[in-house]
Amino acid sequence: MNDPDTGTGLQRQKGSAGEVFTAFLKLGLTSFGGPIAHLGYFRNELVVRRRWIDEKGYADLVALCQFLPGPASSQVGFALGLLRGGPLGAAAAWAAFTLPSAILLVLFAFATAASGTAADSDIVHGLKVVAVAIVAQAVWGMAKTLCPDRTRAGIALGAVLVVVFAQGAFAQVAAILAGGLAGLWLCRSDREAISGHLTFAISPTVGTICLLLYTVLLFGLPAAAAVLQSQGIAVFDSFYRAGALVFGGGHVVLPLLQSGTVDPGWVSTDTFLSGYGAAQAVPGPLFTFAAYLGASLGPEPNGLPGAAIALVAIFLPGFLLLVGVMPFWDALRAQPNAQAFMRGSNATVVGILGAALYQPIWTSAIAGPHDFALALACFLLLMAWKAPPWIVVVVAVFGGLVIGHMA
């Protein structure tokens, strides 16, 4: 039964935080395959089976979360938890969907640190090679969707040039902003049709406070870290900035995390890529890779405190933006300028991810023809045979062991 007060098709009977936690824990333990697959899992479990929201409301919710920076599938889950169980339901949805993969990746970080072989083991080498295939698949799929014409392909190429010749996180931020401005100028012809509406029980005042907090943290954290000389604030700032500025979620966060953790020397390239490969073998959101990086940091805070700081920091901006935009979404999404800006920004992130595919992923993983053959096999498994990512990870690990014995 649709609820006329919400416009979302939500059932009149709200649920408890415990109910939300149980539903999302099941999803957090079984949702393999990345953000697009996660949205399918959510639909099957929460729209079709549990009927928390109808198809039209769910489609509008997905559109909202894909419009914003941050982890789209986790934002959809957070919003569904909010609709079903209020603020406690939102927190329960995030915790249940996120913690299973975060815990597994933190354990992996501890295991590699204890063994002392993260940089040179054959298993880790296989994980680094599979990262090549998975990011190549992401670049290919996103390019077809987000760069379907010459204009957006040109914006993507411009982003590659920016991040190659002006390396670092600020170059990536500049590229995203420049791509959005280019979209305002060049991508205004294909206005998207708008249907339906999506209304949340969030007041404009609360939305405005969340947007202000998002902005204050984005610009205030770097200054606070510099003035206070606090490594903890610097870590929070690095992961917050990655979560705040990534359009598209998932694999797109990779170059931002790389520039924020590897470039300052907090994490080695080998440690970074081995964790990224391991993140493909666990269910749940790819943003939990941040927990692995936080646990693996060289300077303190690291271990469990570092993992907790990184995990909260990378998800926080996406949730602040989501709640901030909720009261204004219907009016905002109908604006041609907003649509054009997003088309340009989305094309830019394809270019940024394409640049990251070469450096550091390809250059760190592919050392010879055997590595290239293994990466190509993994890519074909993903693209031609549609194999689940966790199976491809297993194949890559086995291949890394074989290549190691051949050396």
How much is the average pLDDT of 29-58? 80
Query: Which one is predicted more confidently, 202 or 96?
Result: 96
In sequence order, what DSSP letters do the residues of 218-235 get, joined into one string?
A: HHHHHHHHHHHT-HHHHH
In sequence order, what DSSP letters do the residues of 184-220 get, joined into one string?
A: HHH--S-PPP--S----S--HHHHHHHHHHHHHHHHH
Tokens 């559109």 — which residue? 63
What count of residues does the chain have? Answer: 407
Identify which of 234, 241, 292, 295 has the alpha carbon closest to the alpha carbon of residue 264: 234
pLDDT for residue 37 is more than 80: no
**Of the ranges 32-46, 135-149, 153-167, which is most confident?**
153-167
pLDDT for residue 144 is more than 60: yes
**The predicted structure's pLDDT at residue 5:** 41
Identify which of 350, 344, 351 has the alpha carbon closest to the alpha carbon of residue 186: 344
Lowest mean pLDDT among 2-11, 219-228, 299-308: 2-11
Instruction: Decide if 249 contacts 35 (C-beta within 8 A).
Output: yes
Residue 71 sits at the vertex; the CA angle it makes with 83 and 19, to the nearest 5 degrees, is: 35
pLDDT in tens, 325-370: 988 877 776 788 888 887 888 788 788 878 878 887 798 789 899 9
**The predicted structure's pLDDT at residue 407:** 66
How much is the average pLDDT of 5-15? 51
Lowest mean pLDDT among 55-59, 177-181, 191-195, 209-213: 191-195
What burial class does residue 101 get, using C-beta atoms within 10 Å of its C-beta: 0-12 exposed, 13-18 middle, 19+ buried?
buried
In this prediction the pTM is 0.76
